[in-house]
Amino acid sequence: MTESKRLRKLKADLIKELPFFPNDKTTLADLKNQGLQGVLLHYLHWKTRIVPPRRRRVEIAPEVTSDRRWTSLKADINRLLEKVRNGEDIYPYHSKRAHRKGYTPIQGTQNDGVDSWEDKDQLLNTMGFYHFHLDMNVLSSGLSERTDDVLFAFVSRETFHAIGIFDHSVFEHTAHDKSMTAERERMWELHEKHTTHGMAPGTVYISNPIMMSGHPLYVVEMCSHYARIITEIDQKLDDRMFVNSLYEEGGLTVPIKYSFEWRFSGLDLGLFDKRTDTFFSFHKGHI
């Protein structure tokens, strides 16, 4: 099926926003040669790493305030949590990889010895943990000053649950003696505590299934769902009766002229009418 101008524009807009590496013409051509669903997968996977600004209820686990580092870090942690409560942008406090490494071609990881997880957040994909740097000083790069200690949290649309404070050894798979680092072991214990909360002892569970590509199953399913919505709705957007129904169902005046384009706000999918400055939301993301 021939793609409409709207679909071609959507694909181009997603590629333009998606940070890819190597940042060169070869990677750009690789993305342009992929279909809409492929580009959607890379874009949505990257977007799951960025917590969109939204007012959230803050919950603080006792392991945060009982940590030996709490006294020295609590001022900056409380500033970060206040931003969360107010719905302010916390983009600067994410990791550099979340900012700069949204996608790398699979052939690049195979031919150049690049880690296939370079464009993925392993702890987020496998355990659901977001982590945030704690210096509130935002540099001209748009990133905050990097800190060795970071705050781990579970995040939903409604809640920001601070789970624990860790130093960067939590990202190391093993210590020098090949054992798990102390911080990583503590992180695993906290993950199990929160994941199994309310389960009967001995219950078998699967946490965040991962596909062979390294993408979480839920992201692949989200991509398929969004692609289905987009393709089904897009072919109706030149039907005057369908367009009228969009406005009527929203209790809005039906315009004489309209000009739609697909847009994402965070992980929320919608249509934007440029002529009437109206956004129609079709699906809300999980964060």
Same domain, 254 and 127: no
CA atoms within 13 A on the CB side of 20: 24
pLDDT digits (tens, 9 = 90+) for 50-84: 999 999 999 999 999 999 999 999 999 999 999 99
Range of the domain at 163: 51-103+112-209
Same domain, 241 and 266: yes
Does the pTM surpass 0.75? The reply is yes
The stretch 178-196 carries a mean pLDDT of 90
Residue 110 pLDDT more than 80?
no
Same domain, 236 and 198: no
Cα distances (Å, whole numbers) of residue 187 to 135, 163, 182, 196, 283: 22, 9, 9, 14, 33
Total number of domains in the chain:
2
Residue 115 pLDDT more than 60?
no
Residue 162 pLDDT more than 90?
yes
Same domain, 35 and 68: no
Same domain, 65 and 201: yes
| DSSP conformation class of 134 | -
Please give the pLDDT value at position 117.
66
The stretch 221-238 carries a mean pLDDT of 96
The stretch 176-180 carries a mean pLDDT of 74
Radius of gyration of the chain (CA): 21
Same domain, 175 and 243: no
Same domain, 189 and 247: no
Please give the pLDDT value at position 113.
52
How is the beta sheet containing 130-133 ordered, strand by strand? 57-60, 159-166, 150-155, 130-133
